[in-house]
A and B are shown apart, each in its own frame.
Chain A
Amino acid sequence: MTEPGEHVRLVEVRGASKRYAGVEALRDVDFHLAPAEIVGLVGKNGAGKSSLIKVIAGVETLDEGELLVGGAPVPGGYSPHAAHRLGLAFVHQELGNFPLLTVAENVAIGTPFPRRLGTFVNDRELRRRVRLVLDELESTIDPRAHLAELTAVEQRLVMIARALYHDARVLVLDEPSVSLTIDEIAHLHAIVRRFKERGRTVLYVSHRLHEVVALTDRVVVMQGGEVILEQATSAVDERRLVTAIAGETPVPEAAPRAAAARAGTPVLRAVGLRRPPAVEDVSFELHAGEILGLAGLVGSGRTEVVRLLFGADQPAGGTIELDGGPVRFRSPVDAIGRGIALLPEDRRYEGLVLNFTTRENITLASLERLRRHRLLPVPSRRKERDAAAAMIARLSIATSGPEQEVRRLSGGNQQKVVLAKWLQRSDRVLIFDEPSQGVDVGAKAEIYGLIERLAAEGRSVIVISSDFAELAAVCTRVIGIREGRVSGVVEAPGITEADLVRLAYAPAGGEETAVLAEL
C-alpha cells in the first residue's frame, strides 16, 4: 500500500474554490491522483464531487486555486478537448456512446481510424486493434456488434476499453455501478482492477460504500465542498465512511415532529410495486396528514417509484390502491384526475414551460378553474392574473410580476412556480421530488413550512430528498429505498439523519457483501 502524498502526482488540484450563484461548491480543496491507483470519491449529493470532476474534465474553471496535470499547471483555455489530449477519460452515468455504431467504432472514436489507401476506413485493422484492447480486459465482446445490442455493463466496458485504446492515464468513473446487477458489478470491478494493473489510474465515484471499500486503494470523502477525509482504504471501514459522509450538518429549525395519526383506510397504498431494474419490490401506506419521506440515493429507485404512483411509467407488477380500491393510472392525466400531483426533480425539463410567463406556468394545470364562463373553455386573463399574483405573494416568488418569463427567474423561484402550479389545484396527494434542490436556505425553509401546512390541512405528502437532515426534520415517517427495495422504516418523533444515512447506504443483507468480499 502506497502512502498518499509520497508518489508522483498525475493530476493535482491545489487550494481549489468554486462558487455557483453564491453557493460554494468547492472550498479550498486539495486533491490528487497518483499512477496505478484506484481512488474512491464519496459524499452526499451537493458535497462537491461533481464540481471537482467537472474542474478536472475542463468543463468548469476554478475561481481560485490551480489544476496540475502531469506535474504542470494546465494552460489557459483548458477544455474537455485538452483534458482528453492530456490522457484523462471520463465515463458518466449518461454514457457518451453511439448506439448505432459498432463496438470497434465506439472504442476508437476520437482517434484517427486505420485506413486503406489513405482514405477508406480499414475495418479489419480497426477490429484487430480493438480486439487487442478487449483481450487485455479479458472481454469476449464482438467488435462488430452494435452498441445498442449490448447490456449496460458491456456498454460500460466499451467505455473503459475506449479509455485504454486512447491510452488514457486516468479514467474517471461516475456512478458506474448504477442499475447493474451484483454479478455485473463484480465483472465491472474486475475490469477496473485490470485497468489499474496496466499502470493506469481510476477515480471511482460511487454512493455504494461497500463497493468503494472492496475496490479502492484510497478513499476521499467530501462534504459541503470540502475534503474532510482522505485515507488509505485499508484504514477505514464502511461505518467510518458513513459517519464522515453524514457529518454534522446543522438540522434546520423545525418543531419536533410527532407521528401523524394513522387511522382508517390509507389514502394511497403501494403493494409490491415492481419495474425492474430500478424498482424491485416496494410497498408502503400513506395516510391523510402524513409527510412520508423516501430516503434513498441517486439511482436507488426512489424517483422511479413516484413516477409509477403518478402514472408517468407503468408498473411491471404490484398494485396501487387509492382509498382502499385498486387503481391503474395509464398516464399522468389519470393520476391528476384522482388528485395526485407530482413536483418533478428536474424542473427545467419536467416542470416548467420555459418560454411561458410565470402566470402561464402557474395556471397550466388548472386553467379549467379560471374560465371566463363556466361552460366555455376560455381562460379569463383577469382570473389568471389574480390567481398568479396570489400565488406569487403566498410563496414570495421573486419576480417582476405574473408576466415575467419564467426562464429569467432563479432556480429557487422556478421551483416555487412549479409548486404554485400544483397548489393552484387542491390535490390530496402531493409528491415532492427533491423540492429544495438548488434552492437557497431561505426558500428551503419556506418550502418546508409550506409542506407542513399542507399536511396540517389533511393532505398527504411524499417527499424525496437527498438531504437527509431535512427529511429527518420535516417528515412524520421515512422509508428507506435501496436498490429498488424498502430497506427500513423510521417514525417520528426522533428521526435522526444518521438513521436515514444507514437506511440509504447500509447493505441490505449478507449476500451481496459476501459476493463483493470474494473479489
Chain B
Amino acid sequence: MSAVTQQLSRFGVVLAILATFAAFSILRPSSFFTALTLKGILRDCVPLMIVALGITVVLAMNDYDLSVGGLTSLCAVLVVVLLSTDWIGLNWVLAIVLTILIGGLLGLVNGGLIAYVKLPSFILTIASGTVFAGLGLQIVNSQSVYLGISQSFVNLASGSWLGLSHQVFIGLAVLLVAHLFLRHTEWGRHIYAIGGNPEAARLSGLRVQLLRTVGFGIVGVTAAIAAILINSEAGAANPNTGLGLLLPAYAAAFLGSSMFRVGVFTPVGTALGALYLQIIGTGLTILNLSGPIVQMIQGGILIAAILVARLARPQEH
C-alpha cells in the first residue's frame, strides 16, 4: 500500500469530480460549462442524493435495503393520488405529510422484520420492493397521472430562489439533517458501532434491534421525499419513478465511502458521490454518447471506486 494510493483514495472522489468536470468543460465549453447546465446538475442530483442518504444509514449498519426503488415508485403514486383533484384531492401539504409517514411506516415494517423476526435484509427487501412497485402500478393501473395536480405542489420543486431550484435548498437541508444525525448524535454513533461489530454493540447495551428498525424507517422517509420532489418537478406521477434509482443510489454511497476514513459511509461522501454521478450523466449526455455507452462508463466508474477503496483499506490478518 503506497502513500500515493492512500492519498489518491482519500480524496479520490473529490479529484475525480474536479477532473471530470474539467474534462467536460474543455470538451464542450459552450454547452457544458454554462450556468444553465451547472444549475441543472445541482438540481437533478437532489432526488438521487436523498435516496442515497437513506441508503447510507443502512449501509453504515452493514445492512442492505433493496426495496428503495419500489418504495420510491409507490410513494410517487401515493402523493399524487392523495392530492390530485381527479383522485382524493387532499390539501397538497397534507398529502406530502401523509406520503412521508406512509413511506417511513413501510420502511419500519421492513426493518422490524429484519431486526426482530431476523429475516435476511437482502432478500426481504428485494421481495418487499417488488410488492411496493406492484402496488403502485396497481393503484394507477400502470398509467401516469397528470391531471388535477395543484400548482403549489409543482412550485415546491420547480420554483427557484436566488437563481437556484428549490430542490437544491431542500437537498442541502436533508443533507444537513443526515449529517448531524449520523455524525453528531448518540444514535448516529450507535449506528456505526452496529455496523462495525453488532455483538459488541449489543453487549455495550445499545438498542441494536430498535436502531436497525429505525434505519430502515429512514430509508422509507427518504424514498418518500425523493418521490415527492421528482413528481413536483415533473408535475405528474410516473408509477415507474423508482426503477432507475436503486443502483445509482448504491453507487453514490459506495463512491462516497472511498473518501475520508476509507470504507466509512458518510452523508457528505454520499452527497459528493451523487453529485459526481450527475456530472457524468449530464456530461455524457451533452457529449451525445448513446445510452448503453453511458451505462458502461457509469458501471466502470463504480468498479474503479470500490477497487480503490479496497486497496486503501487496512489489511485484515
Which residues of chain A have a CB within 8 Å of any CB of chain B? 310, 312, 331-333, 335-337, 342, 344, 349-356, 360, 364-365, 367-368, 371, 377-379, 405, 407, 421
Q: Which residue of A lies closest to B184 (CB)?
A: A378
Chain A residue numbers with a CB within 8 Å of B185 are: 377-379
Given contacts A333-B207, A353-B193, contact A407 B184 (CB under 8 A): no
**Across the interface, do A353 and B203 meet the contact criterion of CB distance under 8 Å?**
no
**Across the interface, do B202 and A352 meet the contact criterion of CB distance under 8 Å?**
no
**Across the interface, do B197 and A331 meet the contact criterion of CB distance under 8 Å?**
no
- The A-contacting residues of B in range 143-197, CB under 8 angstroms, are 184-187, 189-190, 192-193, 196-197
Measured CB to CB, the closest approach of chain A to B95, in angstroms, equals 31
**Across the interface, do A354 and B196 meet the contact criterion of CB distance under 8 Å?**
yes
**Across the interface, do B203 and A351 meet the contact criterion of CB distance under 8 Å?**
yes
**Across the interface, do B203 and A355 meet the contact criterion of CB distance under 8 Å?**
no
**Across the interface, do B186 and A356 meet the contact criterion of CB distance under 8 Å?**
no
Q: Which of B193, B200, B202 contacts A331 (CB 8 A)?
A: B202
- The A-contacting residues of B in range 201-233, CB under 8 angstroms, are 201-207
- CB < 8 Å A-B pair total: 71
A202 to B314 CA separation, bound complex (whole angstroms): 41
Q: Which of A349, A350, A351, A365 contacts B205 (CB 8 A)?
A: A365
A192 to B264 CA separation, bound complex (whole angstroms): 50
**Across the interface, do A356 and B196 meet the contact criterion of CB distance under 8 Å?**
yes
Question: B199 at interface (Cβ–Cβ under 8 A)?
Answer: yes
Question: B134 at interface (Cβ–Cβ under 8 A)?
Answer: no
**Across the interface, do A353 and B197 meet the contact criterion of CB distance under 8 Å?**
yes
Question: B263 at interface (Cβ–Cβ under 8 A)?
Answer: yes
**Across the interface, do B189 and A379 meet the contact criterion of CB distance under 8 Å?**
yes
**Across the interface, do A351 and B200 meet the contact criterion of CB distance under 8 Å?**
yes
Chain A residue numbers with a CB within 8 Å of B314 are: 405, 407
Q: Which residue of B lies closest to A360 (CB)?
A: B189
Given contacts A333-B207, A336-B205, A377-B186, contact A350 B193 (CB under 8 A): no
**Across the interface, do A349 and B197 meet the contact criterion of CB distance under 8 Å?**
yes
A331 to B200 CA separation, bound complex (whole angstroms): 13
Chain A residue numbers with a CB within 8 Å of B206 are: 333, 364
Given contacts A349-B199, A350-B199, A353-B193, contact A377 B204 (CB under 8 A): no
**Across the interface, do B189 and A355 meet the contact criterion of CB distance under 8 Å?**
no
Q: Can you list 17 A-B pairs, Cβ within 8 angstroms, ordered by A? A: A312-B202, A332-B203, A336-B204, A349-B199, A351-B200, A351-B203, A353-B193, A353-B196, A356-B193, A360-B189, A364-B201, A364-B204, A365-B205, A367-B190, A377-B186, A378-B184, A421-B204
Given contacts A349-B197, A355-B264, contact A379 B186 (CB under 8 A): yes
Q: Which of A336, A342, A367 contacts B189 (CB 8 A)?
A: A367
Chain A residue numbers with a CB within 8 Å of B204 are: 332, 336, 364-365, 421
Measured CB to CB, the closest approach of chain A to B61, in angstroms, equals 12
Extra pairs beyond A353-B197, A377-B185 (19, CB < 8 Å)? A312-B203, A332-B204, A332-B205, A333-B207, A336-B204, A342-B203, A349-B200, A350-B197, A352-B200, A353-B192, A353-B196, A355-B196, A355-B263, A356-B192, A364-B201, A365-B205, A377-B186, A378-B186, A379-B184
Those 10 A-B pairs whose CB atoms lie nearest each other, nearest first: A336-B205, A353-B196, A365-B204, A377-B186, A367-B186, A353-B197, A355-B196, A353-B193, A364-B204, A350-B199
**Across the interface, do B189 and A352 meet the contact criterion of CB distance under 8 Å?**
no
A354 to B206 CA separation, bound complex (whole angstroms): 16
**Across the interface, do A352 and B186 meet the contact criterion of CB distance under 8 Å?**
no
**Across the interface, do B205 and A333 meet the contact criterion of CB distance under 8 Å?**
yes
A365 to B202 CA separation, bound complex (whole angstroms): 10
A351 to B184 CA separation, bound complex (whole angstroms): 23
Measured CB to CB, the closest approach of chain A to B181, in angstroms, equals 10
